[in-house]
Amino acid sequence: MTAADLQIQPIASAGKSRRGPVRRLQVVVVGAGFGGLAVVRGLKGRKIDITVVDKQNHHLFQPLLYQVATAALSPADIAAPIRTILKDQDNVHVVLDEVVAVDAEDRVVWLASGRSLTYDALVLATGARHSYFGNDAWGVHAPGIKTIDDATRVRRTVLLAMEHAETFRQARGALRDEYLTFIVIGGGPTGVEMAGAIAELTRHAAAMDFHYITPRCVRIILIEASARLLAALPDALGREARRALEQLGVEVRLNGRVTDIDATGVTVGDQRIEAATILWAAGVKASNAGLWLGATTDRAGRVEVEADLTLPGRPEIFVIGDTAAVKDRRGRMIPGIAPAAKQQGTFVARALRRYRPHRRARRPFRYRHFGSLATIGRHKAVIDLGWIHLTGSLGWWFWSTAHLYFLVGFRSRLLVGMTWLWNYVTFERGARLITGIDDGVDPPAANHAALVKGQAAP
């Protein structure tokens, strides 16, 4: 069977002119994250046929995934079906599948199902995944959060740990201490926000439901390999974040190099810390797009692109978002954040509206950095807008408003806003549901025998 036999047909027929049929531009967009959606929306109403390929059927607001993982929000609050988001664009066809290869010479994208897509222009916006720096086996014991499945798994892990601690309330020594020890590895925005959210969950909301769990018996440790938190922000904001975390009872360990992770704990240098719950927020690497293209990549696997976000020698292939290694005018790497991906997507949409085969003379992409921000907990956030720094309550309100603005759709903004208001007034976390416990991957339950260490189960 040939590629032509499996090829997905164009979604619209060619138009006509006085000179005869005019073939519409065929654009394939791989990935429906912030960058990919920005491309598609920027082509609304144009005589361009777009095929969107994603292995998930939903667009996800990743900056708030940690709130799903800590039971502050439900998955549906921060995700929406791709088809629903794009339902008013007649020139879009959505394909639920996964890309496994790209034939740049013949302009064909191969999918896991065996089907293929031909294109005139290709946009790769495939995002990033966890990086364990060559220690991939750690992922079994220290999950990170990049998808809804990741977030619900982490939520299950955290809530099960508290359930087991309540069950083993009469146990002495290491067993109960391990259930109530939570380790977060990585002092970037995700790690800081995760540690703060776990502190609020275990020290406030959980205290309302568990009779034998108090703030004194919960231990939360944030481990960062460098000498400061939030390296992308000014040093003063990193110190403020550390102070806010410590006020919540989080132990911040800087210059802590993790050398081993297993089912019952973490080794930092020569020190062993026993814990049932270990979460990873220390690093990411790009998708396999660089391998598909046979392109030059940086250490994180990001594809090195031209100033107009195209693959060198391939003006019809655009690479954006976390998949691309893009530098600003000062030679600094553009951060892998939602606003950057959206700006790149908007730029590519403009380029495609003026697209001509083999045309390279495009303006370079110019990134505008509007600020960096991280929240630590209730009334605690750090904001760097360049010309001004915000902290405390003012920073927290700014952070909340900014995240509501970037959510996709009025419904999501309304639901998240109302949920945050309810949580703020009542200290409740309404998404404390343990789900998926029959999938065979339930730490710390799956590691129970190792944690008990010979003690008899109740």
Percent of all residues in the chain with a pLDDT value above 90, rounded to a whole number: 60
CATH 3.50.50.100 fits 136-282+378-452, yes or no: yes
**Active-site residue 193, yes or no?**
yes
pLDDT for 243 equals: 95
- Give pLDDT tens digits for 282-311: 988 999 999 999 999 999 999 999 999 999
- pLDDT tier, 22 (very low <50, low <70, confident <90, very high otherwise): low
Residues 6 or more apart whose CB falls under 8 angstroms from that of 399 comprise: 373, 374, 375, 381, 383
Kindly list the domain boundaries of the chain, sorted by start residue.
3-55+97-130+285-353, 136-282+378-452
Can you tell me the distance from the alpha carbon of 301 to that of 322, in angstroms, rounded to the nearest whole number?
A: 10
Q: Which residue has the higher pLDDT, 237 or 173?
A: 237
- pLDDT tier, 20 (very low <50, low <70, confident <90, very high otherwise): very low
Its pTM stands at 0.87
Can you tell me the distance from the alpha carbon of 423 to that of 295, in angstroms, rounded to the nearest whole number?
A: 47
Q: Which residue has the higher pLDDT, 416 or 457?
A: 416
pLDDT for 416 equals: 82
Mean pLDDT for the stretch of residues 421-430: 62
pLDDT for 17 equals: 42
- Give pLDDT tens digits for 116-164: 999 999 999 999 998 999 999 999 999 999 999 999 999 999 989 988 8
Superfamily of domain 3-55+97-130+285-353: FAD/NAD(P)-binding domain (3.50.50.60)
Mean pLDDT for the stretch of residues 104-115: 97
Mean pLDDT for the stretch of residues 175-191: 92
CB contact at 8 A, 277 and 165: no
Q: Is 286 helix (H, G, I), strand (E, B) or coil?
A: strand
**CB crowding 385-415: b at 16 or more within 10 Å, else e:** eeeebbbeeebbebbbeebeeebbeeebbeb
In 3D space, the residue among 296, 396, 353, 316 whose CA is nearest the CA of residue 118 turns out to be 316
> Are 3-55+97-130+285-353 and 136-282+378-452 in the same CATH fold?
yes
- Residue tagged active-site, from 193, 224, 306, 316: 193
